[in-house]
Amino acid sequence: QVQLVQSGAEVKKPGASVKVSCKASGYTFTSYGISWVRQAPGQGLEWMGWISAYNGNTNYAQKLQGRVTMTTDTSTSTAYMELRSLRSDDTAVYYCARDHRDYEDYWGQGTLVTVSS
């Protein structure tokens, strides 16, 4: 069965960086992309970007360009999302999801990132 397992919760200070991992299993990793979506406390969903696990091509939301980097390690079927220059409004649950035809069909359990001084 398809599973995406994310790394644990993080607490960071403003200005720091965070890197969240997402380990995939149950399917051929390089046949799909990985999307990242975040959700601030009590708020809606925000699409952050996408990476092709086949060739590493990326597409980032304009709002985050310059601060976010998405990568994959095909040897371990793991995707990573790094967000830099963290601010308090980056506090959110970060989800990875398998990208199927530009929709997110399987999701990780989420990683809470808290930015606080």
Partner 1 sequence: EIVLTQSPATLSLSPGERATLSCRASQSVSSYLAWYQQKPGQAPRLLIYDASNRATGIPARFSGSGSGTDFTLTISSLEPEDFAVYYCQQRSNWRTFGQGTKLEIK
Nearer of residues 90 and 104 to partner 1, judged by Cβ: 104
Nearer of residues 44 and 117 to partner 1, judged by Cβ: 44
Bridge partners, 37 (sequence order): 47, 95
User: Shortest distance, CB of residue 69 to partner 1, whole angstroms?
Assistant: 18
CA–centroid distance for 36 within its chain: 4
Q: Does 27 bind partner 1 (CB under 8 A)?
A: no
Which 87-116 positions form the footprint of partner 1 (CB under 8 A)?
95, 97, 101-105, 107-110
48 and 68 Cβ atoms separated by less than 8 Å: yes
Q: Does 52 bind partner 1 (CB under 8 A)?
A: no
Q: Residue 78, exposed/middle/buried by CB under 10 A (0-12, 13-18, 19+)?
A: buried
106 and 116 Cβ atoms separated by less than 8 Å: no
Q: Does 8 bind partner 1 (CB under 8 A)?
A: no
Q: Which two tokens stand for residue 39?
A: 């959700």
Name the site residues for partner 1 (rule: CB under 8 A): 35, 37, 44-47, 50, 59, 61-62, 95, 97, 101-105, 107-110
